[in-house]
C-alpha cells in the first residue's frame, strides 16, 4: 500500500512539475510568438499608440489567425473606426466586435461605408495611415502578407454616400503653411509691406508701389487657400476634389483610368456647365500610398496640371484616393446640393523691366460662393468683376498713380476668365475716358503660367528652416558618409537618366584631384535641416582663369521641394563662390554659369524651375549645349541649356564665344577630368558653333 502511495505521489509530483513548467512555458512561447509575428508587430507599431494593448493584440491575433488579408482588413477597419486617436479598452473591444460582424457580412466584398469624406480629412487619420503604408511596404512584411503589387493599397474599399466632386485642386493656404500661428502670419504681412515700401525700384517709380488694400486683398485670399480648376475638357488624367459642404472639407482624388469612372465624371462635368459647377455622386474609392501613387502616374498627366499633382504628392495627405466606381445622384437633393468655395481674379502690377512674377506685387479679388447653384455662382462672379473694376477705376482716377498699369494673371476657371474678358472689353469698346484708360492700363494677356505663379508663392512663403552646410572632404569621413546617403536618397532620384548621372566613385575622384591643384575649386556642399538630416545639396566649381563659376546642379529632397530650401542653398553657393573669388585676389566674381534641363525636351513636369533661375537674372545662351560622356559606358547628353548670370556687370554684353569656350573647357578638364577637351567631339561641336556666330543671350521666361 505504501509503495502504491509513494508511486502515486511520484507521478503527482511529476505532473505538477510539468503543469508548472507549462504555465511558465506557454507565456514565454506566446511572448516570443507575439514578438516575431509580423501581424503582432503591425498591431504594436500602428495601433498600440492609440491604446491597443497586449490583451487586445492577442484577441486580434486569434480572430485573424487564418488569413493575411483579414489581418490587413482588421488594421484598416481599426484605423477608420479610431481615426488614429486614443481609445479605451472598452472602445477597442467594441471595435473588434464590429469588425467580426463586418467581416462576416463583407468577406467577399470588403467595403467600408461612410456618409461623406470628412472622416478621411483629419491629421491623426493621415498620420496613422502613413504608419500603415510604411510598415507594410517593406520586403519582409510584403512577403509574409503576400503583397505582390508594386503599388501598395488597402484591401478595404471605402464607399462614400455623398461625394461632391469638382474638377479642382485645393492649394494649402498661408494659415496652414504657418501652422495657424497668426503672429507669424501677421509678421509676414508687415514685412512684405515693408519690403514693398522700401524696394529701390519702387522708390524710383512711385506708380509701382503696392497699395495697402491690394496687399490685404492678396493676403486674405492666400490665408485660407484658393482652389484652381483642373483642365478636364480635353486631355484629363482624372484629378479632382471630393468635398462636403466646403472646399476646405475635401480630399484630392483620382478617377480610375481603367474603369468608366473617368468617363462618367468628364461627361457629367461638361453636361453640368449650364447648371452648376460640381456633381453629387455616390463613390467607391481605393486608398493608396500617396507619393508612390502620384509618382507612378506622372507620365500620363496633362502637363498643364503637373504643378497640382506635385503639390498633392508632397501635401498633407499620406494617401491617394482613387475613385473606382461611382453612381451619379439625380434627385432633388443632388440638384440643390451645397458646397462653397472661393472664386477669384488675380492681377499683377505691370513692370516692363521685371520679367518674373513677384508675389508682393500681386493683387487678388475674391468672393466666397456656392459652387452648386448656378445663379448664385454667376451672381458672385459678376460681383467679383465689379470689385476689380471699382478698384482700378479708383486707382486710375488718382493722379498720384499716373502711368500705373496692371496685367491679368489668371482666374479659378475658364468661366471666370471669359466673364472677365467680356466685361472689360465692354468697358473698352464703349469708348469715353474710362474705356481709353482701361485699354491702355489693363493688360489682358497673361505673362506667366499658373505653375510659375504658384511656385513663386510657394517660394515666397516658405516655412523657415534653418539649414547647416557640410563641405564634403575626403579628410572628413563623416562628410563622405553623408555624401553616400545624399547620393542614394536624393541625387539618384533627381537624375534618373544614367547618362546624365555621375557615379559616386567619380565624385570622390573629383574631390581627390581638386585637393592637388590651385587652378580651380571643386565644391560638393550638402544642406542639413534642424535635425541633422541631409535635405539637399549642390556641386559647383570656381575657375581662376575666367573668374567664373559653374553650378552643376542644386537638388532638394523630393518631398521638401517648393519649400525655399533650394533658394537657401543657392544663397550659400553665392557666398562660397564670392569667397573663392576674393581669395584669388578678385574683387568680385564675374559670371556664374549653370547647366539646366531645356523645357523643350519635356523631361520636367512643369516649368517652375525656370522661375527660380529667372528670379536670379539668369539668361539662356542660345547654342546647342552638350554634356560630354561622363565615362566610356555613358553617352553624351543633349537637351540641356547653358545659362549665365553676371555678378559684376550690369549687362551680359561681355559674354563672348571665347569666354564661354574658356569656361566650358575648364569645366570639362577640371570638373569632369577630361584630359584634353580640345580632342573631345562634344567640345569641338560647341566650339565650332560658338565661334561661327555672335553670342545670343536671351531671357529664360
- Quick one: 621 and 656 in the same domain? yes
* Residues 184 and 157 grouped into a single domain: no
The pLDDT, as a whole number, for residue 186 is 75
| pLDDT for 206 | 56
**Quick one: pLDDT at residue 30?**
46
Report the candidate in 76, 243, 67, 86 with the shortest Cα–Cα distance to residue 168.
Answer: 243
CB 315 within 8 A of CB 172: yes
Burial class (CB within 10 angstroms; exposed 0-12, middle 13-18, buried 19+) of 701: middle
Q: How confident is the model at residue 274 (pLDDT cuts 50, 70, 90)?
A: low
pLDDT at residue 205 tops 80: no
Q: Which of 84, 107, 130 is the last residue of a domain?
A: 107
460 near 359, Cβ under 8 Å? yes
Q: Give the model confidence (pLDDT) of 44-90 as tens digits.
A: 889 999 999 989 998 999 999 889 999 999 999 999 999 999 999 99
| Residue 200 in this model has a pLDDT that exceeds 50 | no
- Is the model's pLDDT at 507 over the cut of 90? yes
315 and 214 share one domain: no
Q: To the nearest whole percent, how much of the chain has pLDDT over 90?
A: 45
pLDDT computed for residue 227 by the predictor: 85
- 241 and 374, same domain (yes or no): no
- Per-position DSSP letters for 589-613, written without gaps between them: --EEEEEEE-GGG--SS-SHHHHHH
Q: Do 306 and 247 have their domain in common?
A: yes
Q: Are strands 157-166 and 279-289 parallel, antiparallel or unpaired?
A: antiparallel
Tell me: do 210 and 250 sit in the same domain. no
Looking up residue 562, the CATH number of its domain turns out to be: 3.40.630.30
Domains in the chain, number = 5
Q: Kindly tell me if the per-residue pLDDT of 604 is higher than 50.
A: yes
Model confidence at 201, in pLDDT bands (50, 70, 90)?
very low
Looking at 439, 460, 481, the residue that finishes a domain is: 460
Alpha-carbon distance 373 to 381, whole Å?
12
pLDDT of residue 33: 44
Average pLDDT rounded to a whole number, residues 415-420: 91
Taking 80 as the threshold, does the pLDDT of residue 306 lie above it? Answer: no
Contact 494, 555 (CB under 8 A): yes
The secondary structure of 559-570 as a DSSP string is GGTTSSHHHHHH
Residues 323 and 357 in one domain: no
Q: Containing domain of residue 10, as a range?
A: 1-31
Mean pLDDT within 604-624: 79
Question: Dihedrals φ, ψ of 490, to 5°?
Answer: -125, -50
Specify the pTM. Answer: 0.65
Q: Which of 335, 358, 386 is the last residue before a domain boundary?
A: 335
Unique residue bearing C-alpha cell 474599399 = 157
Kindly report the average pLDDT of the chain as a whole number.
85
| Report for 178-182, 380-384, 513-517: range of highest mean pLDDT | 380-384
Whether 251 and 148 map to the same domain: the answer is: yes
pLDDT at 402: 86
Q: Is residue 113 pLDDT above 70, yes or no?
A: yes
| Res 158 pLDDT > 60 | yes
587 and 483 share one domain: yes
Whether residue 403 is predicted with pLDDT greater than 90 in this model: the reply is no
What whole-number distance in Å separates Cα of residue 77 and Cα of residue 156?
8
How far apart (Å, rounded) are the C-alpha atoms in residues 381 and 487?
50
Structure confidence by residue, pLDDT tens digits, 446-466: 988 787 788 778 777 765 556
Question: pLDDT value at position 566?
Answer: 86
More confident call, 221 vs 459: 221
Residue 639: which region, alpha, beta or left (left: phi > 0; alpha: psi -120 to 50)? Answer: left
The predicted pLDDT at position 123 comes to 86
My answer on whether 213 and 81 are in the same domain is no
Helix/strand/coil (H, E, C) string of 512-545?
HHHCCCCCEEEEEEEEECCCCCEEEEEEEEEECC
Say yes or no to pLDDT of 561 above 80: no
Query: Which grid cell is 531?
Result: 535635425
Q: Are residues 47 and 119 in the same domain?
A: no
Band (9; pLDDT cuts 50, 70, 90): low
**95 with 116, same domain?**
no
Amino acid at each position: 500500500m505504501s509503495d502504491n502511495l509513494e508511486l502515486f505521489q511520484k507521478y503527482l509530483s511529476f505532473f505538477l512539475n510539468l503543469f508548472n513548467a507549462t504555465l511558465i512555458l506557454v507565456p514565454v512561447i506566446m511572448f516570443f510568438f507575439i514578438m516575431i509575428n509580423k501581424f503582432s508587430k503591425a498591431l504594436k507599431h500602428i495601433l498600440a499608440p492609440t491604446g491597443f494593448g497586449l490583451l487586445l493584440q492577442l484577441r486580434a491575433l486569434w480572430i485573424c489567425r487564418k488569413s493575411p488579408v483579414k489581418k490587413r482588413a482588421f488594421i484598416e477597419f481599426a484605423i477608420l473606426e479610431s481615426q488614429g486617436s486614443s481609445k479605451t479598452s472598452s472602445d477597442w473591444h467594441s471595435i473588434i466586435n464590429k469588425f467580426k460582424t463586418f467581416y462576416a457580412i463583407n468577406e467577399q466584398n470588403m467595403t467600408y461605408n461612410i456618409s461623406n469624406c470628412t472622416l478621411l480629412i483629419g491629421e491623426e487619420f493621415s498620420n496613422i495611415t502613413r504608419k500603415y503604408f510604411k510598415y507594410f511596404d517593406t520586403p519582409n512584411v510584403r512577403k509574409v502578407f503576400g503583397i505582390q503589387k508594386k503599388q501598395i493599397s488597402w484591401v478595404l474599399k471605402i464607399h462614400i454616400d455623398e461625394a461632391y466632386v469638382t474638377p479642382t485642386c485645393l492649394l494649402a493656404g498661408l494659415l496652414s503653411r504657418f501652422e495657424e500661428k497668426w503672429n507669424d502670419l501677421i509678421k509676414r504681412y508687415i514685412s512684405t509691406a515693408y519690403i514693398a515700401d522700401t524696394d529701390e525700384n519702387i522708390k524710383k517709380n512711385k506708380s509701382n508701389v503696392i497699395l495697402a488694400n491690394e496687399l490685404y486683398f492678396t493676403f486674405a485670399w492666400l490665408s485660407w487657400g484658393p482652389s484652381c480648376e483642373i483642365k478636364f475638357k480635353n486631355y484629363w488624367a482624372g484629378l479632382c476634389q471630393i468635398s462636403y459642404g466646403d472646399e476646405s472639407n475635401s480630399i484630392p482624388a483620382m478617377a480610375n483610368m481603367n474603369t468608366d469612372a473617368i468617363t462618367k465624371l468628364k461627361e457629367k462635368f461638361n453636361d453640368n456647365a449650364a447648371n452648376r459647377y460640381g456633381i453629387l455622386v455616390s463613390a467607391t474609392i481605393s486608398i493608396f500610398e500617396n507619393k508612390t501613387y502620384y509618382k507612378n502616374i506622372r507620365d500620363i498627366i496633362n502637363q498643364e496640371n503637373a504643378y497640382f499633382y506635385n503639390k498633392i504628392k508632397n501635401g498633407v495627405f499620406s494617401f491617394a484616393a482613387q475613385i473606382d466606381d461611382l453612381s451619379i445622384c439625380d434627385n432633388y437633393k443632388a440638384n440643390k446640393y451645397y458646397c462653397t468655395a472661393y472664386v477669384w481674379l488675380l492681377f499683377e502690377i505691370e513692370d516692363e523691366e521685371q520679367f518674373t512674377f513677384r508675389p508682393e506685387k500681386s493683387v487678388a479679388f475674391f468672393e466666397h460662393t456656392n459652387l452648386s447653384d448656378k445663379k448664385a455662382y454667376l451672381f458672385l462672379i459678376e460681383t467679383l468683376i465689379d470689385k476689380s473694376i471699382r478698384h482700378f477705376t479708383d486707382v486710375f482716377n488718382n493722379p498720384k498713380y499716373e502711368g500705373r498699369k496692371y496685367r491679368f494673371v489668371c482666374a479659378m476657371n475658364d468661366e471666370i476668365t471669359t466673364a472677365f474678358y467680356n466685361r472689360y472689353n465692354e468697358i473698352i469698346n464703349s469708348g469715353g475716358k474710362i474705356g481709353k484708360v482701361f485699354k491702355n492700363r489693363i493688360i489682358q494677356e497673361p505673362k506667366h503660367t499658373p505653375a510659375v505663379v504658384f511656385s513663386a508663392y510657394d517660394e515666397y512663403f516658405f516655412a523657415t528652416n534653418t539649414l547647416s552646410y557640410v563641405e564634403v572632404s575626403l579628410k572628413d569621413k563623416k562628410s563622405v558618409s553623408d555624401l553616400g546617403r545624399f547620393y542614394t536618397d536624393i541625387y539618384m532620384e533627381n537624375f534618373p537618366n544614367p547618362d546624365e548621372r555621375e557615379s559616386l566613385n567619380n565624385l570622390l575622384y573629383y574631390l581627390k584631384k581638386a585637393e592637388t591643384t590651385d587652378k580651380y575649386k571643386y565644391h560638393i556642399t550638402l544642406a542639413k535641416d534642424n535635425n541633422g538630416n541631409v535635405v539637399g545639396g549642390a556641386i559647383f566649381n570656381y575657375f581662376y582663369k575666367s573668374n567664373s563659376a559653374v553650378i552643376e546642379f542644386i537638388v532638394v529632397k523630393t518631398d521638401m521641394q517648393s519649400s525655399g530650401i533650394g533658394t537657401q542653398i543657392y544663397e550659400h553657393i553665392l557666398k562660397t563662390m564670392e569667397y573663392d573669388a576674393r581669395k584669388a585676389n578678385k574683387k568680385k566674381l564675374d559670371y556664374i554659369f549653370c547647366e539646366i534641363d531645356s523645357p523643350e525636351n519635356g523631361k520636367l513636369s512643369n516649368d517652375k524651375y525656370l522661375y527660380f533661375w529667372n528670379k536670379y537674372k539668369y539668361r539662356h545662351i542660345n547654342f546647342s549645349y552638350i554634356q560630354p560622356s561622363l565615362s566610356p559606358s555613358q553617352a553624351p547628353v543633349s537637351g540641356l541649356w547653358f545659362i549665365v548670370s553676371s555678378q559684376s556687370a550690369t549687362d551680359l554684353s561681355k559674354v563672348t564665344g571665347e569666354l564661354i569656350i574658356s569656361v566650358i573647357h575648364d569645366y570639362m578638364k577640371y570638373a569632369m577630368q577630361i584630359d584634353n577637351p580640345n580632342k573631345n567631339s562634344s567640345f569641338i561641336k560647341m566650339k565650332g558653333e560658338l565661334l561661327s556666330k555672335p553670342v545670343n543671350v536671351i531671357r529664360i521666361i
